[in-house]
Amino acid sequence: MLSETEITTVEIDLLIEGIWRIHGYDFRDYARASLQRRLSLWLSNSGYANFGSALPFLLRDAVLCNTLVQGVTVNTSEMFRDPLFFKILREKVLPYLSTFSHAKIWLAGCAGGEEVYSLAILLREAGLEDRCRIYATDLNQDILKKAKSGIFPLRNMQQYTRNYQRAGGQAEFSDYYVARYDRAIIDSQLTRNVVFAAHNLATDADFSEMQLILCRNVMIYFKLSLKEKVLNLFDRCLTAGGFLCLGSKESLDGRHIAPDYQETEPRSRIYCKKYISPAKRDIS
């Protein structure tokens, strides 16, 4: 006879496999401990006694499954999160983008849009707003709606203003939003060159010819095999000389693509893709 813990493990395996096969959400290669924690939290709010009794309903009900996806994905973010990162982006990467008449940027795992608006502000301040297109993607459709709305709690603006200034911002941060009661509504013109789209890094197709890819604080939830898969995806999408940006707790150390990349500054997590002749790539 299996113990309760072992039964729960089997039920979670079945649940992950089931929602992948029926609804197309693939959590099979997410790091198990944090996934299990978040699933348990979802279960305790769901009214079901255990995963076994929730499973038949999850398989048949896309809306219920969506609540689980909401619960499993961690959407925490901040505008100008890790200000030093944005400072280096401004100083080292924007000059590279300015060499293009038109540059493409992929922001993968954009959550509620905090990072999208931060980047759009940098581009505006560098005069690159109309020469860059940002593709802001996330697997979570509900959080994408929030990102598009550009509405944030007003109480967060103090912190975001400090982050903006630490990232080298010289303007009045309050010029980028209007306050309405307890909300801050971000200047909608900032996203006129942003395409928001659902995209699942575990299962969906490549984007082509990006000059800059940001995927910060997303792969920390993935197992190594999925990290490698996603990094290979980014490598295929990024032009030589382009930049790949990861979160502060992530790195390319030991990853398959690492030899083809050079970190811009130590611990910046901003990696430049080296120019390598196709012949050399084939040999390695």
Ligand X SMILES: C[S@@+](CC[C@H](N)C(=O)[O-])C[C@H]1O[C@@H](n2cnc3c(N)ncnc32)[C@H](O)[C@@H]1O
> What mask of x and - would describe binding to ligand X in positions 15 to 44, judged by CB under 6 A?
------------------------------
* CB-nearer residue toward ligand X: 18 or 71: 71
Our finding on whether 216 is near ligand X (CB under 6 A) is yes
Question: Measured between alpha carbons, how far is 35 from 27 in angstroms, rounded to an integer?
Answer: 8
75 near ligand X (CB under 6 A): yes
**What part of residues 130-189 is at the interface with ligand X (CB under 6 A)?**
138-140, 143
Out of 14, 59, 64, 74, the residue judged to bind ligand X by CB under 6 A: 74
In our burial notation (b when 16+ CB lie closer than 10 A, e otherwise), range 38-76 reads bbeebbeebebeebeebbeebbeeeeebeebbebbbebe
Work out which of 111, 194, 233, 237 binds ligand X, going by CB under 6 A. Answer: 111
Coil, strand, or helix at residue 95?
helix
Rounded-to-integer distance, Cα 190 and Cα 123, Å:
9
264: contact with ligand X by CB under 6 A? no
Could you give the dihedral angle defined by the CA atoms of residues 199, 197, 76 and 97, in that order, rounded to the nearest 10 degrees?
Answer: 100
Phi, psi of 25 (to 5 degrees): -90, 120
Q: Which listed range, 52-60, 108-116, 126-134, 152-160, lies at the site for ligand X (CB under 6 A)? A: 108-116
Question: According to the binding rule CB under 6 A, does residue 81 interact with ligand X?
Answer: yes
Q: Which residues bind ligand X (CB under 6 A)?
A: 73-77, 81, 109, 111, 114-115, 138-140, 143, 200-202, 216-218, 247
